[in-house]
Amino acid sequence: MGHYIANLRDIEFCLFDLLERESVLGKSIYSELDRETVMGMLEEIKRLAENDLAASFVDGDREGVKFNPATGEATLPASFVKSYRAYIDNEWWRIDAPVGLGGTVIPASVRWAIAEMVLGANPAIHIYGSSASFAQVIWQLGTEEQKKIAKLIVDRDWGTTMMLTEPDAGSDVGAGRSKAVQQSDGTWHLTGTKRFITSGESNLNENILHYVLARREGGGPGTKGLSLFLVPKYHFNWETGELGKRNGIYATKVEHKMGLNASSTCEMNMGENEPAVGYLLGEVHDGIRQMFKIIEFARMMVGTKAISTLSTGYQNALSYAKVRVQGGDMKVMNDKASPRVTIIHHPDVRRSLMTQKSYAEGMRALVLYTASIQDEIALAAAAGDADRLEDLKALNDLLLPVVKGFGSERSWTLLGTESLQTFGGSGFTQDWPLEQYVRDAKIDTLYEGTTAIQGLDFFFRKIVKDGGRAIGLLGKEIQTFAESGGVLSDEKAQLLKSLGDLNAIVATLVGHAMASQEKSEEIYKVGLNTTRLLMAVGDIICAWLLIRQGVIAESKLATASGKDKDFYTGKIAAAKFFISTVLPRITADRKIIEAGDGEIMNLSESAF
């Protein structure tokens, strides 16, 4: 086995006990699936992840991507290529491919449970292996002729990228300067430079199809003037996929990064020496909306990647704490002759481990809860239930920045301050996987929109623009549960109090936003606190899901034995610990936000 330790027991508990996913299996579009089939898939990906995929995790980091600037070509370690082929050759791409191209219809909740184990074992494999999901975008939005490209991506395992970011524009996508000029044959010639392009170049695939945002001649300013173009690395025969000449899109640099070194992050140049020929997706100029089909998938992936890394970080830390002998029991610490104990006996190590456990399990539930909403969206769409579909889509939109922003921020922080810390000085060495986990996970707070951007999106688009509808629906569901009494009633009462504090935070920020219509500087008070709001919402959702898990565990405890009894006891303990140590911070956050005067925005730059 490699470094990765999956937690399939908890995944199964979340899917079938907490979220009752068995209720959607065997029905409608999921008619061919049952619990046994799903568990067979999860057990197989666990085996693959812990062995074949995890095997090249270290090589991918130490050897990294080798780039030849003369040819613009990049190569990956042979061991990594072998791991990637194990994933593709075992046909896991089918869970993302369009059904018309050989895809398998499975609930999103099962799909992201599978992704957790791939991303935890070797995240770059999932990143390179996401091409079938990109093909979905062409299959859904492309012309009939362009759908042939989707088929080639799937049939021939072509790589794909999303090309948004530019050196000067950064996260301000609408400031991009890449241009597209239409030709007499209907194609487009693109020019410009893109930066931080994931999977921009590699030796994994015979061809790479780049999804490029560019501004057509005459296109207006900002994001509304952007169109989405399909630009292949090699020209190709649309019927057979046979490759032709090299297209004018090249990697000019592969970034030397802090982590995730098996993933080639490239600077890409278009049209410098020869035309970079592209095709307008769907023959419509609707680029940012089209690209968001990919961005939403990517944000869900990033959050899942971060949370899965925290899970394996915790599992590794727990295993180490059970065998590492150091010091005596605190009760007899002054007795130098007392027996030495494993560090899991020390109070602060237990505090650290339970912090990791509660967050890892709470955030896993957050990811799978969000995915279960996506299950219901697919079912509602199949049934033509428009009203329910609208509410579900709004709820999914609300949760995505929480999964991505909150999930990545909490995971990276905990990996560095708790998981690695459990190992002491050994955690700082390459003898253990934690130092790589920390380096690999940092990017999750940065790409596909930084945490600050997720917070701004969450407040202004998912709350204010939505009129508070989605957060109101979620809040009502949490409140109903918190008021239900019964098992874990004290924890439910604390959840209810914290929900009240959260509602007050939202009201305060909405008040500042409204006041800014007459006094513009009031908006700064919102901007100073949107990340704090995002973190508070994530903590509330995790608390709610952890208590729900605790209630279920309590109902099963009386008849449980052995490992099951330990599992359920741990569930109850995690819920109680999280409620008592994390939720009280939300009251403090409320006081901080309500007392904020925004004076920091009046400081001169020289005062910093």
Q: Which helix (H) or strand (E) holds 180?
A: strand 179-182
274 part of the active site: no
| Residue 278 neighbours by CB under 8 Å, 6+ apart | 180, 187, 188, 189, 190, 212, 214, 229, 230, 231
Q: Which of 201, 418, 435, 448 is catalytic?
A: 448
Percent of the chain with pLDDT over 70: 100
pLDDT at residue 530, as a whole number: 98
Tens digit of pLDDT for each residue in 27-83?
Answer: 999 999 999 999 999 999 999 999 999 999 999 999 999 999 999 999 999 999 999
pLDDT at residue 444, as a whole number: 98
Bridge partners of 189, per DSSP, are: 181, 277
pLDDT at residue 168, as a whole number: 84
- What is each CA distance from 145 to 124, 131, 512, in whole angstroms? 31, 19, 50
Closest by CA to 496, choosing from 508, 507, 509, 481, is: 481
Beta pairing, strands 325-328 & 340-342: antiparallel
Q: How far is Cα 311 from Cα 117, in angstroms, rounded to an integer?
A: 10
Question: CA end-to-end span of the chain, whole Å?
Answer: 50
Answer positive or negative: Cα dihedral of 27, 42, 205, 371: positive
- What is each CA distance from 208 to 97, 161, 205, 237, in whole angstroms? 17, 8, 7, 14
pLDDT at residue 25, as a whole number: 97
- What is each CA distance from 153 to 96, 288, 572, in whole angstroms? 12, 22, 46
pTM more than 0.85: yes
Q: Count of H helices and E strands in the chain?
A: 21, 14
Alpha-helix runs per DSSP H in 345-468: 347-383, 386-401, 407-414, 420-422, 434-442, 451-459
Q: Whats the size of the chain, residue-wise?
A: 608
pLDDT at residue 483, as a whole number: 98
User: What is 158-285's CATH topology?
Assistant: Butyryl-CoA Dehydrogenase, subunit A; domain 2 (2.40.110)
| Residue 452 neighbours by CB under 8 Å, 6+ apart | 530, 531
Domain ranges of the chain: 8-135, 158-285, 466-600
CATH number of 8-135: 1.10.540
| Residue 219 neighbours by CB under 8 Å, 6+ apart | 225, 226, 227, 285
Tens digit of pLDDT for each residue in 414-443?
Answer: 999 999 999 999 999 999 999 999 999 999
Asked whether 75 and 65 are in contact (CB, 8 A), the reply is yes
* Cα-only R_g, the chain: 25
For the chain, list residues with pLDDT below 50: none
Joined tokens for residue 84: 């990637």
How are the residues of the chain apportioned to helix, strand and coil, as percentages rounded to the nearest 5? 60, 10, 25
239 exposed, middle or buried (CB, 10 Å; 0-12, 13-18, 19+)?
Answer: exposed
Total Cβ atoms within 10 A of residue 232: 22
Total Cβ atoms within 10 A of residue 135: 28
pLDDT at residue 246, as a whole number: 97
CA-angle at 439, arms to 323 and 582, nearest 5°? 70
Q: How far is Cα 250 from Cα 232, in angstroms, rounded to an integer?
A: 10
